[in-house]
Amino acid sequence: MVPELFRISHFPLFVSKLEEGDIIDWINIKSQPAVDNPLLKNHKIQLQPTSFPAGTKESSNLVTDPTYQTWCKQEACPFGTVPIHRTTKEDLVMAKTLSHHIFNNISSTNDFAPNNHKVFVRLNETRGIRSSGLYGMTSVYKPSVAPDQSTAGTIWVGRGLGDQTNLLMAGWMISHSINGDDLPRLFVYWTVDGGHIGCFNLLCHGFVQVDRKFAPKRTRFEPLSTVGGKTYEVKFAIHQDPVTANWWLTMTDWNITVGYWPKEILPHLRAGAGEVGWGGLTMATGKDSPPMGSGQYPDGTTNHAAYFRNLHYLRAWNKPLVPSDKYPVFEFIESTGCYGLQNDKGTRQGYWGYSFLYGGPGGSC
């Protein structure tokens, strides 16, 4: 059963108004809208994963890292609450439209939205062995995006075919339609029925928010990378809790636990993912496609095009593994006239690990 998009109706314990005019409702974490999903009637909120991917710091106390500009720095951020962005009817209509677009973008067919494009590196289920998630570092840029366009750097996990597809995504996105501005912000997306109904951020009952400072849509990334200049990056991870089977979204090596997708709403992901992937997505309702990544084609220079580095996929109990010849990745580049991909296939060592450059200027693709 898939929940419908909703308008916030829960009584907030605290309300704040941001400088740009947006209203944030601070809701008791145990009664947040996500738990109104009928499938979560008996669900108990999980405040922290029981374990994290090996090699990361098991703490979410990062408060001074300059790469992450959280919008509640001047707010009380009350304990025991989570921030829910006040939703308008226009927000819901646009989000529902783009939900169709983003799924058709990442799936094998693109008939619904022919002006959507993707560049990605994907690893599929091998010999019946499923993945419990993935992570990677990606550079964050602010290319120029028109009001009818969206661009993103993202990771995802999925399993199933057609109407039975379960898909979870997260990353940074620039989208006037979703975010209301041209800034790169944290986003999450999920669908359980092949994209017929898909959900951005907290716009429907499903994604459970647990962090009171970092939230989908309202967390923006600053400072930003510049072409030929300094590069700023963020680590995203989606990983399945080995005990509860919930799917967690964490950020940075300090494991900022943004929230999770409960296992109850993901029937085809309960036993693990059939594919994981890293890459760039673009969406447009007009004739031209937006820039992807930094807006530059990959040219071998890591501060020209956007990149993903230190890629790992996860096996049982969140054991991280690097893509290799034994478990190779599949590369996909759509619209080579607008975008490109350069995969080093693990030839870089140390800091870079398994990495690739991606992106391009967009245009008439």
- Segment 153-162, tens digit of pLDDT: 999 999 988 7
Cis previous bond, 223, omega within 30:
yes
In angstroms, rounded to a whole number, what is the distance separating the alpha carbons of residues 179 and 365?
25
Cα 198–Cα 199–Cα 201 angle in degrees, nearest 5: 155
Alpha helices by DSSP H, listed for 49-195, are 89-106, 176-179
Q: Mark 207-242 as b/e (b = at least 16 C-beta within 10 Å).
A: bbbbbbbbbbbbbbbeebbebeeebbbbbbbbbbbe
Instruction: For the chain, report the end-to-end CA distance as a whole number of angstroms.
Output: 37
* pLDDT of the residue at 138: 96
Structure tokens at 122: 């994907």
On whether the pTM is more than 0.85, the answer is: yes
Where in the chain are the domains? 14-359
- Segment 200-237, tens digit of pLDDT: 888 888 899 999 888 898 788 989 999 999 999 999 99
Structure tokens at 320: 């991280």
* pLDDT of the residue at 194: 64
* pLDDT of the residue at 76: 57
Q: Specify the 3-state DSSP secondary structure of 119.
A: strand
Burial class (CB in 10 A: 0-12, 13-18, 19+), 143: buried
Contact 232, 223 (CB under 8 A): yes
Structure tokens at 16: 């704040």
Cα 331–Cα 248–Cα 95 angle in degrees, nearest 5: 75
* pLDDT of the residue at 62: 35
Q: How many CB atoms lie within 10 A of CB 178?
A: 25
In angstroms, rounded to a whole number, what is the distance separating the alpha carbons of residues 121 and 277?
6
In the chain (365 residues long), the average pLDDT of successive 10-residue segments reads 43 72 84 89 93 69 43 62 78 62 50 59 79 96 94 93 87 90 93 74 88 87 94 96 97 91 94 93 88 96 96 91 83 85 86 94 90
In angstroms, rounded to a whole number, what is the distance separating the alpha carbons of residues 258 and 250?
6
